[in-house]
Amino acid sequence: MGIFHQLATATLPLIPRPIMRKLAGRYIAGETLEQALGCLENLQAQGFTGILDLLGEDVQGEAEARAVLAEYKEGATQIAKRGLDAYVSVKPTHFCLQKDANLAFELYDDLLTHCSGLGQRVRVEMEDHPTTDDTLALFAKLRAKHIGVGLVLQARLFRNPADIAALPEPEPGGRMDIRMVKGIYLEPEEIAHTKPDPIRAAFIEQCKTLWAGGHFVAIATHDEVMAETLMEHVERENIPRELYDFEVLLGVRESLWQSWLKQGRPVRVYVPYGPEWRAYSQRRLRKNPEMLKAVAMGMFRR
Ligand SMILES: Cc1cc2nc3c(=O)[nH]c(=O)nc-3n(C[C@H](O)[C@H](O)[C@H](O)COP(=O)(O)OP(=O)(O)OC[C@H]3O[C@@H](n4cnc5c(N)ncnc54)[C@H](O)[C@@H]3O)c2cc1C
């Protein structure tokens, strides 16, 4: 990590709220559901499908988790009313998994019942490694009851190939819906790849394993080189169109995914929104060297 990167990363939590909000603007749709739906409509008009995410994590109590559920249900209802091709994606600790696994199951179960009635699926996201076991157990329990539930798996974790091998058996003719990511959390080197090349190689191998098992893979990346390697594999192996799409983050390398769309590749855009935008935006800014440089220089000038 270069000196600017280190400096800017360290100063991110100190940036005053209004400035941070401005910097965050490119990564989030806004603070309200209405703004997020407007963003999804706009993307759909351009040919992109969508993912709706209410920002937040680590909720501390049942009332807060139930309020999150209510917001997600309303989001799904509005997606259906407006004829959008989008699904909702939820962090387990936003449903209080870290404190009460039964409550988290109950809330996902309720959301899945609501969404399947609307013809929509739901995705269980993956957070940092202390939550991995509980998230996988939660997913297995949900998958036993609902077909329309998907999962996120993180290629950087050494355990991931074994977790793929242990995925619940899909019903005959069915398939798992897996979003493959590199993993946003900087995990310790005892349990995870930490360098770009091994992470990329693991991602590619794990996608191939999932396809070989007949599963659907949402290739969630902005890594052009890795994406092309995967597309070569898709073409070589005649992997059918219904077994993959690309998933990308709002505000990150838009010209790249615009070009994917032009080439006829299916692209789904992750649209985060809500008042809890700060932690998410800091994670995104940490990954953007140019923006970080500007932040560091700005802090010097101040
Ligand atoms: C739809 C979606 C959902 C996700 N869900 C999860 C999840 O549930 N759990 C989880 O751990 N992770 C999740 N992630 C994040 C993921 O793990 C990676 O951290 C993130 O996608 C960056 O990795 P990359 O594959 O794009 O490759 P990188 O090598 O990180 O990036 C590839 C290229 O994109 C550029 N880039 C990346 N981020 C930015 C940025 N913010 N601004 C400007 N340029 C940027 C890089 O500079 C590089 O050139 C998700 C990602 C996506 C796209």
Which pLDDT score, from 0 to 100, does residue 124 have? 98
97 & 139 share domain: yes
3-class DSSP assignment, residue 115 = helix
282 & 140 share domain: no
Residue 12: pLDDT band with limits 50, 70, 90: confident
200/224 Cα distance (integer angstroms): 11
* Rounded average pLDDT over 36-43: 98
39 & 24 share domain: no
244 & 296 share domain: no
**Ligand 1 atom closest to 270 (CA):** 1
**Ligand 1 atom closest to 125 (CA):** 8
pLDDT digits (tens, 9 = 90+) for 49-64: 999 999 999 998 999 9
Which pLDDT score, from 0 to 100, does residue 1 have? 58
Distance 183 CA to ligand 1 centre (A): 8
122 & 13 share domain: no
Q: Which of 93, 178, 181 to mutate to test ligand 1, by most ligand atoms within 8 A of the CB atom?
A: 181
* Rounded average pLDDT over 78-105: 98
The yes-or-no verdict on residue 196 having pLDDT over 90 is yes
Mean pLDDT for all residues in the chain? 92
**Can you point out the beta strands (E) in the chain?**
49-54, 86-90, 122-124, 149-154, 177-181, 216-220, 244-249, 267-273
The yes-or-no verdict on residue 101 having pLDDT over 50 is yes
Which pLDDT score, from 0 to 100, does residue 238 have? 96
Residue 173: pLDDT band with limits 50, 70, 90: low
Which pLDDT score, from 0 to 100, does residue 302 have? 42
118 & 19 share domain: no
pLDDT digits (tens, 9 = 90+) for 238-276: 999 999 999 999 999 999 999 999 999 999 999 999 998
3-class DSSP assignment, residue 270 = strand
The residue contributing the CA closest to ligand 1 atom 38 is 287
254 & 143 share domain: yes
How many domains in the chain? 2
- What percentage of the chain has pLDDT greater than the value 70? 92
97 & 227 share domain: yes
144 & 288 share domain: no
262 & 283 share domain: no
Query: What is the CB < 6 Å shell around ligand 1?
Result: 125-126, 152, 154, 181-185, 220-223, 247-249, 252-253, 270, 284, 287-288
Which pLDDT score, from 0 to 100, does residue 293 have? 65
Distance 293 CA to ligand 1 centre (A): 19
Q: Are 142 and 149 in contact (CB under 8 A)?
A: yes
Q: Which of 222, 246, 283 to mutate to test ligand 1, by most ligand atoms within 8 A of the CB atom?
A: 222
107 & 180 share domain: yes
The yes-or-no verdict on residue 277 having pLDDT over 90 is no
Distance 181 CA to ligand 1 centre (A): 7
CATH number of 250's domain: 3.20.20.220
**Ligand 1 atom closest to 51 (CA):** 1
261 & 218 share domain: yes
Q: Which of 122, 184, 186, 247 to mutate to test ligand 1, by most ligand atoms within 8 A of the CB atom?
A: 184
> Which structural domain range is residue 18 located in?
1-28+277-302
